[in-house]
Amino acid sequence: MQRNTQLLQAARPDEKTPTAALEYPWGIPYPRSNAWQDAKASGAVNYMTSSERAEADYLYADLDLAETFAMSWLKQNNIAAAIAHSALTIGQLSPQAREQLLDATLQTQAQIVSYKMLIAFDQHAMQHYLTFPAQSGQQSHE
């Protein structure tokens, strides 16, 4: 997204750079909380202590938020891709389309930053809160 932003901000009206140089990939990784939802629905969470349930609830609520960020990211990304593919070169985009594309690109970039911050926070929280059984005499969080 940073490269896309740089290309769009530096573009002149006669810019010959193909819009294909602007990359708006579709695949966006995001964690799913289906296992936690299944555990609650099946009653498996009843075998956890109340503090374990509270910790898992907190973490999975954050993962649901990460999914929301990812879906918002995907929506802006698709808008940007549609605008970019409306012309063969960046210079062929109308000033209005270029401004809309830059705005959608910057919004996507901001959502990626928010998503990464949330995932990093959750990874740290998981390492802090969750414990894993010892294997071969060593305890590991990996």
User: Token pair of 47, please?
Assistant: 């075998």
Instruction: For residues 9 and 20, give the distance between their C-alpha atoms in angstroms, rounded to a whole number.
Output: 16
Q: What pLDDT digit, counting tens, does each position of 40-58 carry? A: 889 888 888 888 888 888 8
Per-residue pLDDT in tens (0 to 9) along the chain, 142 residues: 999 999 999 988 888 999 999 999 877 666 666 777 888 889 888 888 888 888 888 888 877 888 888 888 888 999 999 999 999 999 999 999 999 999 999 998 888 888 888 888 877 777 776 554 444 444 444 4
How many domains does the structure of the chain reveal? 1
The answer to whether 15 and 91 are in contact (CB under 8 A) is yes
Whether 75 maps to a domain, the answer reads yes
Whether 71 maps to a domain, the answer reads yes
Whether 32 maps to a domain, the answer reads no
Q: Classify the C-alpha dihedral 84-118-47-139 as positive or negative.
A: positive
Whether 36 maps to a domain, the answer reads no
Domain that holds residue 61: 50-130
